[in-house]
Amino acid sequence: MQADKFGAIAAPPRSAGTGAAMQFLRFSVGREAYVVRIEGVREILEVTQITPVPLMPGFMRGVMNLRGVVVPVVDLGVRLGFAATEVGKRTCVVVVHMRAADGSQQTLGMLVDAVHEVFKGREQDLEPVPRLGTTIAPDFIRSMVRVRDQITIELALDELVGQQTLAELIGADLRH
């Protein structure tokens, strides 16, 4: 992606006509709403037993058993630079599958305060990422999405919770 003369990172090019349809999942972390593209989301779970793992950074909440598979759980609030998520009635684990650098699948859970909806969007609903004025690091933002005339941040999951990113962060934390 390239920045324009105002420092904004360009969103994917807009196509003529109505644009390709896509679906997003909207959820809250703290007081902020965020979206991710639905194709990476596998399921949304009620928070159950999360087992802490010693010597992990604060954003690694622990691991959970998902039908016999151990899945790491990232506290998205901490990872975004906010306070730790307090588990309440609406707190959920959003389970995502992502492609790792070696081509394998990575499954992990993201602890969020609440899940709100799945909605349809189009390419023309995507806006460039501003370099200033966001509550989170611009590298964590894939685009800005118009949702009922409001702008909502679309998270860049590879930058935020991708396997390589998490491995580097955990390695750096262990060295300190």
**Side chain identity at residue 11, one-letter code:** A
114 with 138: CB under 8 angstroms?
Answer: no
What would the CATH number be for the domain defined by 21-175?
A: 2.40.50.180
The per-residue pLDDT of the chain, averaged, comes to 85
Helix (H) or strand (E) holding 158: helix 157-161
Read off the pLDDT band of 101 (50, 70, 90). confident
Place of tokens 């989301």: 41
Strands (E), 100-161: 105-112, 114-122, 126-127, 141-147, 150-155
Examine the pLDDT at 47 and tell me if it is beyond 50: yes
Q: What is the pLDDT of residues 140-161, one digit of tens each?
A: 999 999 888 888 999 999 999 9
7 with 132: CB under 8 angstroms?
Answer: yes
- For the chain, the domains span 21-175
Give the residue from 122, 129, 130 showing the smallest Cα distance to 143: 129
125 with 146: CB under 8 angstroms?
Answer: yes
Q: What is the pLDDT of residues 10-45, one digit of tens each?
A: 444 434 445 678 999 999 999 999 999 999 899 999
